[in-house]
């Protein structure tokens, strides 16, 4: 595949692409080292805004993959980037975890205790959600019509026992109460991919997005004009692939096939 020859930056989804839950795929270490041996770069990208980057560094280390904070791009970081571009200096009411709030503070924003002092409402994947926070969000949207931004559209987050509601589900609860929907930052929006390209100084034609979900990973790649590569090692089945209106540029059984000859187009 000719487009693959031009790729300098590989943006990698993690769960379902490099590992499944707590099980590292056997071909992942050699895949990662092949990218570096070629003189190219990879970044791990995630829609999950409930965990800090340092928690991801630890997670990969526990699986045997050495990584540093600069190797990651999260929807929290992309949200801070978006807020700087569109609402610079805004005071934020954040419905999110304490670690997400600290990340926004480190990015230079003031995080308020109540919506009364806020200029913007930010919704994350809040694993510390309370009804009081939801009530504040609804009050801000009903009475003040503040700008409303969400880190990611995922409806559920996989766990070892099944799934729990993610940011997208909580946004639906708020929509049912207020009729307002947020601007959503994470995949499938191209914003995270554009931020990665900007950080690494590469163009869309030099960038590949690799992931196991069509409606987030693949769509974000297509939306950003990057090469989109679907791996069948996670969520997508042949039935889902056949029914999807979004077609990946390349389909592989798993990332171990990327630098081999056996792939489907
Ligand atoms: Mg995945």
Q: What is the mean pLDDT of each run of 10 residues along the chain (265 residues)?
A: 91 94 92 94 93 90 95 93 94 96 95 96 97 97 95 86 92 98 95 93 98 94 97 94 96 90 41
**CA 242 to the chain's CA centroid:** 24
> DSSP letter at 253?
S
How far, in Å, is the centroid of ligand 1 from the Cα of 218? 10
The predicted pLDDT at position 260 comes to 64
How far, in Å, is the centroid of ligand 1 from the Cα of 236? 9
The predicted pLDDT at position 52 comes to 85
Domains in the chain with CATH codes: 2-47+187-257 (3.40.50.1000), 83-184 (3.40.50.1000)
DSSP for 42-63, please give it: EEEEE---SS-HHHHHHHHHHT
Is 188 in contact with 37 (CB distance < 8 Å)? no
CA angle 25, 224, 208 (to 5 degrees): 35
The predicted pLDDT at position 259 comes to 84
How far, in Å, is the centroid of ligand 1 from the Cα of 20? 9
How far, in Å, is the centroid of ligand 1 from the Cα of 107? 27
> DSSP letter at 217?
I
The predicted pLDDT at position 2 comes to 82
**SS3 label, residue 145:** coil
Is 9 in contact with 208 (CB distance < 8 Å)? yes
Is 149 in contact with 124 (CB distance < 8 Å)? no
How far, in Å, is the centroid of ligand 1 from the Cα of 93? 29
How far, in Å, is the centroid of ligand 1 from the Cα of 212? 5
Of 69, 7, 84, the C-alpha closest to 259 is 7
How far, in Å, is the centroid of ligand 1 from the Cα of 111? 30
How far, in Å, is the centroid of ligand 1 from the Cα of 33? 20
HSE value, Cβ hemisphere, 13 Å, CA-based, for 117: 8
């Amino acid at each position: 595949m000719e487009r693959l020859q031009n790729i300098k930056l590989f943006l990698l989804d993690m769960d379902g692409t490099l590992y499944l839950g707590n099980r590292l795929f056997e071909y992942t270490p050699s895949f990662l080292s092949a990218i570096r041996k070629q003189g190219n770069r990879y970044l791990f990208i995630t829609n999950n805004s409930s965990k800090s980057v340092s928690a991801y560094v630890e997670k990969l280390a526990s699986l045997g993959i050495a990584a540093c904070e600069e190797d990651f791009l999260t929807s929290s970081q992309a949200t801070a980037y978006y807020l700087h571009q569109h609402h610079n200096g805004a005071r934020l009411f954040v419905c999110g975890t304490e670690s997400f709030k600290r990340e926004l503070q480190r990015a230079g924003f003031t995080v308020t205790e109540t919506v009364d002092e806020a200029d913007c409402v930010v919704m994350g994947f809040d694993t510390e959600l309370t009804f009081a926070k939801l009530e504040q969000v609804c009050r801000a949207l009903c009475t003040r019509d503040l700008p409303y931004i969400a880190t990611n559209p995922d409806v559920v987050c996989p766990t070892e026992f099944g799934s729990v509601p993610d940011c997208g589900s909580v946004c639906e609860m708020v929509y049912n109460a207020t009729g307002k929907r947020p601007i959503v930052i994470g995949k499938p929006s191209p914003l995270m991919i554009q931020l990665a390209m900007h950080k690494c100084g590469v163009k869309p034609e030099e960038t590949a997005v690799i992931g196991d979900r069509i409606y987030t990973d693949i769509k974000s790649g297509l939306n950003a004009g990057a090469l989109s590569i679907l791996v069948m090692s996670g969520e997508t089945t042949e039935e889902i692939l056949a029914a999807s209106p979004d077609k990946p540029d390349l389909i592989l059984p798993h990332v171990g096939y990327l630098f081999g000859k056996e792939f489907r187009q």
